[in-house]
Chains A and B, each alone.
Chain A
Amino acid sequence: MALIEIENISKSFGALNVLKDISLSVEQGEVVCIIGPSGAGKSTFLRSLNHLETISDGRIYIDGKLLDDRKDGVNRSPLTKKEESDILLEMEIVFQRFNLFPHMTTLENVMLAPVHVRKQPKEAARAAAVDLIEKVGLSDKLDVFPSKLSGGQQQRVAIARALAMNPKIMLFDEPTSALDPELVGEVLAVIKKLASEGMTMLVVTHEIGFARDVADKVVFMYDGIILEEGAPAELFAKPKHERTKAFLQAVL
């Protein structure tokens, strides 16, 4: 079984169906880029995986374990709260707007969850945090508050903060959309490095160049469904659907 198995998930806000019967599987180490026009349900789809949104129908398996099983809004999953949060800890998300904790320094942001969730001793968590912050190239910003960092630096801290929980899967929700153009590259470079280390990732992005370089699979979403998916070379070179063609023409 693939690391992530998504089977027929749907979600509606009242009468509005945001996700319509979506299925997708993601193998260990695979990088999947999700593209599509705004309002297609890309973010909702990603956020459904780690329960920031609740699906109304469908099943989600993470690493062979059933995380969600819903039918008409009714939760049929037998998981206890504890089992559910254990599975959710396999995934971490990076947000468009970073969402760093403004009252904590870089180091404190990265250490918070390992200390309070994983119950790591402070010294161990600190050492691990220092390594991760070095990995994202911000060793000189350990004791700086987020307000003193550029958007690109904040997003790199956010990535380090997510990695500190040792997730198997990283979710990126438009990680560069809130950045000034000249800061996009530094964040994409960090995500590329993660890809090359074999991290399994789902990335909602508008950076087509990045998707072409890094993705193993590109998913094109339109109006709550996956209209088309395939290897980037294939999908970008000869899209099957008119919608996909039109979208790619507009963004390229």
Chain B
Amino acid sequence: MRNLELVMGWLPSLIFASRITISLSVISVVIGMLAGVFIALGRISANGALRKACGIYIFIFRGTPLLMQLFFVWYALPLAIPWLAMQDRFLAACIAFSINSAAYQAEIIRAAIQSIDPGQMEAARSLGLTYGQAMRLVIIPQSIKRLIPPVGNEFIMVLKDTSLVSTIALVDLMKHTSQIQSSAATALVYLPSACLYLIFTAVFTFLFNYLEKRHSVYE
């Protein structure tokens, strides 16, 4: 009974700390997706230099630890270039997570675009559409349905990875959990905290499944 009271007492502040977890995930995945579209288009463009550049971006940000990228943006960058010092930990986290997610999503988007039958591009180009129009009106709309499951996956990965921001003293759900754990000297706080993570992932999984269903109307 006493345990239940404790948990109920922590819950409001845990939920409040979750606003950082959720908003950081949503912002990073959305910015990562927008940037990812351009990087993916660069990856498959006819321009060799652009293709290389986008390939290098993906290689670097997919191949180094996210924690290292976060530390780099928050701690290291201000040492190298002082005017890049950020006052806001949340902003720093958004930048690091967006840069990282863009690399992953670029590959997801590239794979989805390349999975579309090449006959679609041929038909669009033969009708006189420019490459850009063909991408925008024909190829990308068809790839969206194929994007939804892997982007949903990516979102859930990011949601859990946001716990890394506790290392730059940004108070998200994870950081607040460990604060309670040390001040109350109890392991119990992990129970409501883990449940909150599970609820968030469940909600977003449901949302992505719903989106996927809605996008299959024409099949």
Contacts and interface: CB of A to CB of B under 8 A. Distances in A.
A117 B117 contact: no
A113 B142 contact: no
Nearest to B144: A103
B126 interface: yes
Contacts of B138: 101, 112
Contacts of A113: 127-129
A159 interface: no
A70 to B, nearest CB: 19
Given A112-B137, A147-B219, A103 B128 contact: no
Interface in B138-193: 138, 141-142
A99 B122 contact: yes
Interface string A31-53: 00000000000000000001010
Interface residues of B, number: 18
Interface in B59-88: none
B13 interface: no
B56 interface: no
A50 B127 CA distance: 10
Given A101-B120, A101-B138, A112-B137, A92 B126 contact: yes
A95 B128 contact: no
A117 B127 contact: yes
A145 interface: yes
A149 to B, nearest CB: 12
Contacts of B218: 102-103, 145, 147
Interface in A67-125: 85, 88-89, 92-93, 95, 97, 99-103, 112-113, 116-118
A165 interface: yes
Nearest to A171: B126
A161 interface: yes
A161 B120 CA distance: 13
Q: How large is the interface on A (under 10, 10 to 19, 20 to 34, 35 or more residues)?
A: 20 to 34
B127 A165 contact: yes
Interface in A136-163: 145, 147, 158, 161-162
A189 B54 CA distance: 50
Given A101-B138, A147-B219, A89 B128 contact: yes
Contacts of B137: 112, 116
Nearest to A101: B138
A101 B122 CA distance: 11
A85 B128 contact: yes
Contacts of B9: none
Nearest to A47: B122
Contacts of B120: 99, 101
B129 A93 contact: no
Contacts of A95: 119, 122-123
22 contacts: A52-B122, A52-B125, A52-B126, A92-B127, A93-B126, A95-B123, A99-B117, A99-B122, A99-B123, A100-B123, A101-B120, A103-B218, A113-B127, A116-B129, A116-B133, A117-B127, A117-B128, A118-B128, A147-B218, A158-B123, A161-B127, A165-B127
Given A52-B126, A99-B120, 11 more contacts: A89-B128, A100-B123, A101-B138, A101-B142, A102-B218, A112-B127, A112-B129, A113-B128, A116-B137, A117-B128, A117-B129
Interface of B: 117, 119-120, 122-129, 133, 137-138, 141-142, 218-219
Interface of A: 50, 52, 85, 88-89, 92-93, 95, 97, 99-103, 112-113, 116-118, 145, 147, 158, 161-162, 165
